[in-house]
Amino acid sequence: MREFSKKKQDGILNPLKVRVLNRLLADIKDILSSDQSITYLDLLDDELLPQNSDAVLILGQFKAAMEQFKAKYYGYDNGIYRWRTVERP
């Protein structure tokens, strides 16, 4: 999306790209559902097709939320990196 935005920031996404991106973003929202950052994450509007620059902004928000989630729940423990989960606190 960043490359599309560089070429034509005001270019409109087609419905197929919006559907594909929204499926991925919906899965990410499910994973992050218990995190506070969820309130700042929106899917792309599939009725008013967004511009490339809008999609880059939304994807950037998702990337930041995922990085924050990883920093919170993934780390070095007893000589290895691992996820800190309910099963393995």
pTM of the model: 0.81
Instruction: Please give the residue range of the domain that contains residue 10.
Output: 2-83
Q: Is residue 38 part of a domain?
A: yes
Number of independent structural domains in the chain: 1
- Could you read off the pLDDT of 6-60 as tens digits, one per residue? 566 678 888 999 999 999 999 999 999 988 989 999 999 989 999 988 898 999 9
Nearest Cα residue to 43 out of 33, 29, 60, 63:
29
CB 47 within 8 A of CB 9: no
Q: Is residue 6 part of a domain?
A: yes
Q: Is residue 88 part of a domain?
A: no
Q: What is the DSSP string of 14-63?
A: PHHHHHHHHHHHHHHHHHTTTSGGGGG-----SSSPPBHHHHHHHHHHHH
